[in-house]
């Protein structure tokens, strides 16, 4: 089994999902008492979030690149960034280490394509929905991602940062996001991307009206395939 290096803490709430899912998936493959061999570097998210808000992605890239170097030094044979938005810094990380970076958008696109989805509704932070780095990657992989209208993007961003990243789960926020998904379906979406690794804390993919990919789970599946493949 290869060792996976996790850059976590972005946020800590979803990093726990990664540990749980990696353990579950390895046990499902190998049985018994098996679990995933991994090393974790958990960053303090508050300074990173402040830099995000200032659009200082060079500074966030430096923080994550240093985390990746530490993971490689600790024996990681691949890097997993436990977030969607921070894949904006994937080039910084690739330049800092010699091991591969398992990209969350690639894993997501494979899962969507396997379900026959071509026009997924991307639900994520404002950065992931509005900047090109994520949407362009999906487009290169044959998808045409849709995003909610600006008012919905702003509301979803607030739900993620003010609630989900802080462990707050509100039924009224679930209802709001379900309404966004219905509007996306009416606009032509044929699938849904939980494009923030915290959204799966609020919604269950099996309850969605369209084929849905929880990116945290898809990312873990790709990491385990690397570790055991």
pLDDT of 132 reads 96
pLDDT of 105 reads 97
**CA atoms in the 13 A half-sphere facing the CB of 185:** 13
DSSP label at residue 205: G
pLDDT of 58 reads 98
Q: What is the enclosing helix (H) or strand (E) of 112? A: helix 104-114
SS3 155: helix
pLDDT above 70 coverage of the chain, percent: 100
SS3 35: coil
Q: Where in the chain is the domain with CATH 3.40.50.1860?
A: 4-103+218-228, 105-214
Average predicted confidence (pLDDT) for the chain: 97
Q: Confidence band (pLDDT; 50, 70, 90) for 204?
A: very high
Which listed CATH number (3.30.420.40, 1.10.10.410, 3.40.50.1860, 3.20.80.10) goes with 4-103+218-228?
3.40.50.1860
Domain boundaries 105-214, CATH class:
alpha beta
CA distance from start to end of the chain: 9
- Average pLDDT score over residue span 173-195: 98
SS3 179: helix
- Average pLDDT score over residue span 35-47: 97
Give the whole-angstrom CA distance, residue 216 versus residue 62.
Answer: 23
pLDDT of 128 reads 98
Residue 213 token pair? 């990919």
Residue 107 token pair? 């894993």
- Of 15, 36, 23, 1, nearest to 165 by C-alpha is 15
pTM: 0.96
Q: Confidence band (pLDDT; 50, 70, 90) for 5?
A: very high
Tens-digit pLDDT profile for residues 69-105: 999 999 999 999 999 999 999 999 999 999 999 999 9
Do 93 and 81 meet the contact criterion of CB atoms below 8 Å apart? yes
pLDDT of 171 reads 97
């Amino acid at each position: 089994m290869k060792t996976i290096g996790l850059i976590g803490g972005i946020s800590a709430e979803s990093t726990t999902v990664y540990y749980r899912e990696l353990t579950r998936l390895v046990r499902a493959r190998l049985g018994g008492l098996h679990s995933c061999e991994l090393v974790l570097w958990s960053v303090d998210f508050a300074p990173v979030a402040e830099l995000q808000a200032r659009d200082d992605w060079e500074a966030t890239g430096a923080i994550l690149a240093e985390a990746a170097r530490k993971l490689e030094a600790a024996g990681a044979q691949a890097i997993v960034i436990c977030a969607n938005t921070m894949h904006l810094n994937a080039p910084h990380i690739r330049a800092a280490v010699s091991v591969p970076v398992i990209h969350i958008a690639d894993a997501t696109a494979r899962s969507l394509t396997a379900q026959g989805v071509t026009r997924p509704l991307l639900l994520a932070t404002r950065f992931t929905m509005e900047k090109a780095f994520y949407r362009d990657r999906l487009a290169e992989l044959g998808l045409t991602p849709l995003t909610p209208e600006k008012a919905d993007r702003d509301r979803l961003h607030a739900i993620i940062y003010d609630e989900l990243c802080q462990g707050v789960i509100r039924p009224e926020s679930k209802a709001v996001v379900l309404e966004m998904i219905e509007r996306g379906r009416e606009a032509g979406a044929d699938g849904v991307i939980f494009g923030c690794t915290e959204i799966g804390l609020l919604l269950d993919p099996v309850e969605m009206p369209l084929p849905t990919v929880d990116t945290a789970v898809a990312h873990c599946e790709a990491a385990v395939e690397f570790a055991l493949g």
